[in-house]
Chains A and B, each alone.
Chain A
């Protein structure tokens, strides 16, 4: 079968050196989010004070929750003489204020550039502080000049698993549970995955799990570290899992937590796409059926049935509609798969990420979509102004764009609606509660896409239709 993905000859000119309206954030942000998904943990950035504050603000504006990130607060002196003293002081202060069970340290461009030996510094700190309160210390190397927030996220997941995995750790469920590494998904997605696992009767270690730490209830007293998160004991026990599942077709080139556990502890790893839409969700539920040794619960079979039924109900409104999809690579792949299966043409699939695997992944998930012809363009390592240029140059004429709120300017300049999914969503409430995954998530996305187009049709028509 010929691939619907084309490599356009109309590459934008000039080839911009600068990044103009970025479609990505930097690596330590992803790492801080992962650290927030560990029970009793506080994220800590080794670098300038501004990094922690900016990332807090960026995350707070999406999750609308407190998000404390500590910093070693570099000064000129620490930059010249090394930040060991600041790191030690910072760890001590965080410990005495927050009483965390774990501090998750991530580096920044500054500390990576000056070559800080964080591993050695943490070793020294542990030696010097053998006293009463000793949080577990883990660290991830996340220079901002290498990759995006998503790379920082996956690096942190792997680093934490690598540093905590204890092959000798006795586990109550030895061999009867599964590790699930979902990547950077919403808090609602995380809750959904836990529900699916519970319904399958399959215990999982979901990591990271910020479903409660970044989407908690109204409180009487301020919680220094909100409840929830992946327990440290569970992270220690990851080598005794029966299997690991990780989401992300574009991860193929990366050293991931699952690949580490497979190589070192022979925990079989299954890598599937982010389960968005029917096809990718089918793959996920098939894996769950295999690992749980039982068929899909009726609840999900019924959700699938209703979803497909609604696809039929809405197909005429969608066929041949053209969408620009942008965001984190694996989200883009999942959305492209979903859009292609409902009859939309994802005319441009774009990401600020640069895994080298995006084109191939898009080709895989759209291989059945003959209606796409060869109209799908894929762009890695791009930014919003380049997306706008390409849209014009290639006369893409999209009907809508889909991705994070950072695409709002793009959408307005194109005069089409933006359907908000993924991260960050800074201009609407509830971004963290968007469900993308499974048949249920696809149902919500489907209704949203169809209704956005219906609304557009109704609003732009001189006739005020009551039935559509």
Chain B
């Protein structure tokens, strides 16, 4: 059994072993627990990062900018301003005297140089402490340069990653409603919560185009400021990564009356359901017919390919630890489609409702964990004899050290895993890791073999 900190005992659950389901979540990480979570700044930074024609400047000492330079695999079809790292790189004297002047000068020079469509200014920990009036600086630069300059209140200590998502959504809300919407079709949507990792937004956009649905804006994958300004003209908001984007969707509903639905583009079932849900919502027979055709065509194309992988992977055991719980649902289903069993699943930021849904979805004995840490995760992997672990960069070495396969499903990935073709890529990647001969040489597999020999 895992060494679970007393403070965290109620954040880990084993299905079937306890009667009443109760999982503590949405809490500040326990000090000293080595959480896999980052901070408020991280939440804001990842959400806004893919907006490619905006200037993103981190106000604070250099670390936050260094660690998030070109961190996501979020692609752009045009400008790539988002892939540069800008910082006020505050020094000791800036901390003593305040950083407003430096921020003003930095913004002015960078806007002059790069001519962005807007600028996001991320306030990091000490900015909140020394009392820089970031909002006032932004306002001044905005009026001088004639572009939106938006403060993002993302001081790391002011909550969790989720509060960072909220701060990002608040900044986006200031943009929506400022662009023209006359030419927008009634059959139109905004794609919320897809970040165009490895070009995934393009895959999804293509499905919508084939359905005859106009995509007004992508928030934020391959994002553009002018599109976001027009987002209030769409008939429907289609929200993936619900943890980060529900706040924006709800606000747009309140302010502009735009309904929203939650979708997921991972796995065949969820992908198909997403397109059908959009078609149903738009209440257009032609769109629905085209959607049926797309789903049929895509399924016919990918099912034979998946059958091959399923034969090899059937009965293998998977563990999942991801940022948002919503992605975990799709992963459990996608793995099931490959004949695999999810024996452990957890997330950094899930809520009570998410975990309840996960519990319903999972088999008996599955471990469900909120805001886990390397020691817990490693014990879960050992105990459950996992064949492949699905997570992000920080989870990878835990699996590899133990001689266990791994699939990166986080924002650094270079493989498109969304959409119908993404499911094939996912199966291929899981297969490629699980079936590799290298495990035969690791102590873990060798220990197993020796037992058989005895």
Contacts and interface: CB of A to CB of B under 8 A. Distances in A.
Given A18-B109, A71-B31, A110-B125, A25 B62 contact: yes
Nearest to B108: A17
Given A25-B66, A60-B396, A72-B31, A18 B378 contact: no
Nearest to B381: A222
A93 B31 contact: yes
Interface in B247-282: none
20 contacts: A19-B62, A20-B110, A21-B85, A22-B89, A25-B62, A48-B39, A49-B35, A49-B37, A55-B63, A55-B67, A74-B157, A78-B157, A93-B5, A113-B95, A144-B61, A145-B91, A218-B443, A221-B382, A222-B374, A409-B70
Interface string A42-80: 001001111111111110110011111111111110110
A319 interface: no
A14 interface: yes
B36 to A, nearest CB: 7
B125 A109 contact: yes
B116 interface: no
Interface of A: 14, 16-22, 24-26, 28-29, 44, 47-58, 60-61, 64-76, 78-79, 86-87, 89-94, 96-98, 108-110, 113-114, 143-146, 148, 216-222, 224, 385, 406, 409
Contacts of A28: 63
A224 B375 contact: yes
Nearest to B104: A17
Contacts of B42: 50, 53-54
A65 B401 contact: yes
A73 B62 contact: no
A22 B62 CA distance: 8
A90 B31 contact: yes
A76 B94 contact: no
B40 interface: yes
Interface of B: 3, 5, 7, 28-42, 57, 60-70, 83-92, 94-95, 102, 105-106, 109-110, 124-126, 128-130, 156-160, 374-375, 378-379, 381-382, 393-394, 396-398, 400-403, 441-444, 447
A53 B30 contact: no
Contacts of B125: 47-48, 74, 108-110, 113
Contacts of A49: 29, 35, 37-39, 156, 160
Nearest to A42: B34
Nearest to A67: B397
Contacts of B64: 50, 54
Contacts of A70: 32-34
Contact of B32 (A48, A94, A108): A94
A241 B23 CA distance: 55
A22 B32 contact: no
Nearest to B439: A218
B63 A29 contact: yes
Contact of A66 (B102, B374, B441): B374
Contact of B126 (A53, A93, A96, A109): A109
A75 B68 contact: no
Contacts of B90: 109, 145
A76 B106 contact: no
Contacts of A68: 34, 374-375
Nearest to B158: A76
